[in-house]
Amino acid sequence: MMTSTSSLSIDHTHDPALRSWLASANAADTDFPIQNLPLGMARAVGSAEAFRPFTAVGDQALDLVAAADMAALPQEVATVLQACVGQGGLNPLMAAGPALGRQLRHALVAVLEEKAGGDWPARLHAALRPQASLELTLPCRIGDYTDFYAGIHHATTVGKLFRPDNPLLPNYKWVPIGYHGRASSIGVSGQQFRRPLGQTKAPDSETPGFGPCKRLDYELEVGALVGLGNAQGVPVGIEQAEAHLFGLVLLNDWSARDVQAWEYQPLGPFLAKSFATTISPWVVTMEALAPFRRSFSRHADDPQPLPYLDGPANRAQGAVSIQLAVHLQTAGMRETGLAPHRLMQSDFADAYWTFAQMLTHHASNGCNLQSGDLLGSGTQSGPQPDQGGSLLELTHGGKQALTLPNGEQRTFLQDGDSVTLVGVCEAPGRRRIGFGPCVGTVLPAQS
């Protein structure tokens, strides 16, 4: 249940009037005001030093180990942060559980806020780095990656393309559908990857062929990183699920639609998805998201979740409102200085299942989740046709090309295209926070 120490509770660290002595954190349009404090792993660009935990604040990032060395953070937190350096990821912090994460957040606000006592601004200056001077890597070691399918508008539209008479399979409204993804090819924003090669079969062809994917697509998703794990054989009840979620990132599940159409039956996606997945580098913690939680409910015409996927906290605050968008910049647009063009927007609060339900379902058979595991939400399309979270939807299966501001047309992605996912959280009387961009670029196939 919700208590004063739950990651769902709002406290002084969410106060919209809270300001930092660091001016850029107070800019109206920053994704990283003092109310956010997302966590990531970074080092100086071009250096060979070990990646270290940082928090983003304004256009700067605070080296957390350096801050801890200045006694800005409790000793218990400092010890765990030091372990993160040794492990090359935030896994030790994630495994420590939500109480320690909250200690870190509260300590950071105490030294970064405008009214911070002592000489914190002068001392912490030495631990601040411009974000532009940093190279960010994956925030944690991701042992396993599971991609769910919790966008019902995406599932319905795509289902119609693959199965016109039978778009939503009968299990959809009962089971949080997912497949086991590939962790090794997950990269961080800035990732560039080669167009995949694969086996495809044209509808009018008797036999398949092998070659570069011709229908390369993106998928707009939200990713959840597991904090506390669970022992094998010990499920996680829905009321405990929030305590196992560490934070959220943006996730682009790049997809080879022609490969997918040929390979997906009967066991689901395989090589159509495993060549690359891009996530944003800054993990927005569940604590930071508390003001943007929304109630979760099921339409009366739909089956209500089975009891193991239903509970008062999930009903009251299981959903998260995140304004999501996809922007596309072609090589031609880049060369002529044209900004990325927004293709759509949607709200993560429209997801058919909450992350608590996905996590509970995942562990319900006794499967052990580990700190740093990644859960993808599935493509987050909105209810309207122009809110498709993939090109497959926006171009009606490649039949209706999109026209970009410079006259270029797209059905699927071409070499040199960059896709940027954006996510911001806004609510009346709350400080806006954002995720920072999640960018990936398509390179030509290996010849």
Q: How far is the CB of 148 from Mn ion (least distance, A)?
A: 8
417 binding Mn ion? (CB under 5 A): no
- Number of other residues whose CB lies within 10 A of the CB of residue 163: 11
Closest to Mn ion by CB, 30 vs 387, is 387
Q: Which two tokens stand for residue 392?
A: 């497959």
Task: Please state at what angle helix 98-112 crosses helix 75-87, rounded to 10 degrees.
Answer: 110
Q: Where are the beta strands (DSSP E) in 191-320?
A: 191-194, 197-200, 209-212, 216-217, 220-226, 245-252, 255-256, 277-279, 284-285, 293-294, 319-320
Binding mask 217-236 toward Mn ion (x if CB under 5 A, else -) reads: --x-----------------
Closest to Mn ion by CB, 101 vs 178, is 178
Q: How far is the CB of 377 from Mn ion (least distance, A)?
A: 8
Query: Which residue's Cβ lies closest to Mn ion?
Result: 253
Q: How far is the CB of 147 from Mn ion (least distance, A)?
A: 5
d(CA 294, CA 307): 20
Q: Among the options 14, 125, 153, 154, which is catalytic?
A: 154
Q: Which two tokens stand for residue 135?
A: 């190279």
Count of alpha carbons within 13 angstroms of residue 393, beta-carbon side: 26
Asked about 341 being catalytic, the answer comes back as: no
d(CA 289, CA 249): 12
Binding mask 145-174 toward Mn ion (x if CB under 5 A, else -) reads: --x---------------------------
Beta partners for residue 200, in sequence order: 209
Evaluate whether 213 touches 198 at the Cβ level (below 8 Å): yes
For Mn ion (CB under 5 A), the number of binding residues is: 3
Closest to Mn ion by CB, 63 vs 147, is 147
Closest to Mn ion by CB, 54 vs 172, is 172
CA 390 vs. chain centroid, Å, equals 16
**Diameter over CA atoms, the chain:** 76
Alpha-carbon dihedral 283, 289, 290, 293, rounded to 10 degrees: -130
For residues 191-220, which are near Mn ion according to CB under 5 A? 219
Please spell the DSSP secondary structure of 136-165, one letter per residue: EE-SS----EEEE---HHHHHHHHHHH-TT
Q: How far is the CB of 115 from Mn ion (least distance, A)?
A: 44
Q: How far is the CB of 253 from Mn ion (least distance, A)?
A: 3
Closest to Mn ion by CB, 253 vs 258, is 253
- Amino acid at position 297, single letter: S
For residues 372-401, which are near Mn ion according to CB under 5 A? none
Closest to Mn ion by CB, 53 vs 223, is 223
Q: Which two tokens stand for residue 320?
A: 């998260």
Q: Indicate the DSSP class of residue 315.
A: H
For residues 242-271, which are near Mn ion according to CB under 5 A? 253
Q: How far is the CB of 270 from Mn ion (least distance, A)?
A: 13
For residues 131-150, which are near Mn ion according to CB under 5 A? 147
d(CA 241, CA 194): 37
Q: Which two tokens stand for residue 384?
A: 């309207």
d(CA 314, CA 356): 7
For residues 322-351, which are near Mn ion according to CB under 5 A? none
Closest to Mn ion by CB, 96 vs 272, is 272
Evaluate whether 325 touches 347 at the Cβ level (below 8 Å): no
Closest to Mn ion by CB, 219 vs 373, is 219
d(CA 162, CA 411): 17
Q: How far is the CB of 370 from Mn ion (least distance, A)?
A: 21
Q: How far is the CB of 221 from Mn ion (least distance, A)?
A: 6
The residues that are catalytic are 154
Footprint of Mn ion on this chain (CB under 5 A)?
147, 219, 253
